Amino acid sequence: MRPRGKAEGRLWLRALEILQELSFCDCTILSMSQRGEHQESKKKLEISPSETMKAEEESYKEENKEPKSEDWRPPSVFGAADLKNRAVGLYNIGQTCCLNSLLQVFFMNIHFTKILRRISVPVCGTQKKKNVPYQMLLLLEKMQCGKQKAVSPKELAICLVAHGVTMFVQYDAAQLFLTLWNLLKKQMKNPELVEKLSDLYTISVQEHLTCQTCSSETKRNSSMLTLPVSLLDSDSHMLKTLEECLQCFFRPEELTGHNMCFCEHCGKKTPFQQSVKLVHLPQTLTIHLKRFCFGRSAYIHKISSCLPFPQDLDFNAVLTEQQCQAYDNEKAAWQYELFAVVAHSGSTSYGHYCAYIRSLTECKWYCFNDSLVEQVSWDDVKSTYGHSDLSWGQTAYLLFYMRKHRQ
């Protein structure tokens, strides 16, 4: 989806020229069919840093030696969640609909913008251009202080390219969300802000592996950025609601036959039971609906079937006592309401993203479709449930739930 106006077109062309000059441009389309890893494991943990982050780590060792500046808190930035006057879109500068949708979800989250406004300013100009949190803050200020209906994310895009994030390609929203979050966390110099960012988004679980022969059990605490739930049960039958998907994710799984594990106590491979128990949920809970999966012929296809999701979600009503490993005061905070939906329309090889977000100040729903922003109804949001006969229709892909305020 390219910019439509002459001014928008000039911005897009200029961004292309700059990125080509930097020799970072790679216009190869990354098909979603190349990302089958989202369905390889039913309970795959998704907090591990991306390969991009590993390559970046060495380059920042030298930069970290330089002195840090004082915290910068620009008084002109109020947060994009304040939509009392107007909402601001983001121009599509070349297949950036996925990036634009995720940025709007970040900016509309008041809890996130409070953290972003407290970051430290990088010392030199080069560091400023390569610092993702700083460039996101500049973009946020530009959105709030200007008079345009939309602004260009060109500078942030160039910053991301410098860290190996390819532009002008189609992205998987779950993968790009993880990449952005890891870049934000790594480049925030203030340990307090890093902790706040982690607390805002990180899910804690406990993995259990129990031998069915001798009953020996091993436990491991893990962190997740999203709950990657399958839309199919163990028999490949379509699940009917989000609650069923969550129950299926936390349901114990029997590892038998070729899936048996070696037991040190038994000295041989034995049947095991694998389970994941919920320990902690964050302020902002992200659920990844795994709509892209392998077919019988090893062909990646998109599941467009209808999957309703509620506006209000109570994990105490969804999970059993055996599926939780948390104290009562923790469980009392497991009351959530829907905050945002990142929806995908199209196929596994080509498509478009937009974001439906509920303003936390107005309690109204908006659709952020690149530069076009308009108020919508809950019925419009429900249109992202999906439909088996509309393979190119909009389907929810990422769900963001916000913890309710405790009375």
Catalytic residues: 97, 352
Residue 230 tokens read as 């399958």
Which helix H or strand E contains 130, and what residues bound it? helix 125-130
- Tokens for 131, please give them: 């610092």
- Give Cα 136 to chain centroid, integer Å: 16
Q: What is the spatial distance between Cα 380 and Cα 321, in angstroms, rounded to a whole number?
A: 35
Instruction: Return the closest-CA partner of residue 135 out of 169, 69, 190, 183.
Output: 183
User: Within 10 A of 234 (CB to CB), how many other CB atoms are there?
Assistant: 11
Residue 301: which of 14, 33, 10 has the closest Cα? 33
Q: Under a CB-based contact definition with an 8 Å cutoff, are residues 300 and 36 in contact?
A: yes
On whether the CB atoms of residues 343 and 384 are closer than 8 A, the answer is yes
Q: Is the dihedral of CA 235, 239, 245, 250 positive or negative?
A: negative
Residue 234, helix vs strand vs coil: coil
Q: How far apart are CA 12 and CA 8, in angstroms?
A: 6
The DSSP secondary-structure symbol of 385 reads: G
Rg (CA), the chain: 22
8 Å CB contact between 352 and 344? yes
